[in-house]
Amino acid sequence: MTTNSSAKWTFITNHGLVLSYIFHNSTSTAREIANYIGVTERTTHKIISDLEDAGYIVRQKNGRRNYYIVDPQLPLRHHTKTDIMVEDLLESLTKEID
């Protein structure tokens, strides 16, 4: 069986990456998030809206800037992982390796 080494995939979705980034950088702009994650700014705005609509983040205004609050007590969305809270995912993505 041959594999295509140029095929790119990751274990964490863009939604998970944006959520993690926002958790650690609550005052970042969509452009900053997009540049870090490697997606377009438009995609980032869509992901932020998805996360906000689902209650995972709350967007608040501070002057002209937005800042975000993540609700870490919500479960993951996949029906097989609803026993895992967002905080568990965020914690595992931020652990330092000794």
Average pLDDT over residues 42-64: 96
Is 2 contained in some domain? no
Is 46 contained in some domain? yes
What pLDDT does residue 45 have?
A: 97
Number of structural domains, the chain?
1
What pLDDT does residue 74 have?
A: 96
Nearest CA to 69 out of 10, 34, 26, 7 is that of: 26
Taking the C-alpha atoms of residue 72 and residue 68, their distance in angstroms, rounded to an integer, is 12
Quote the pTM value: 0.85
Is 85 contained in some domain? yes
Is 7 contained in some domain? no
Tokens standing for residue 90: 């965020």
Domain of 86, in residue numbers:
14-93
Q: Report yes or no: 70 and 22 within 8 Å, Cβ to Cβ.
A: yes
Is the pLDDT assigned to residue 38 strictly greater than 70?
yes
Is 39 contained in some domain? yes
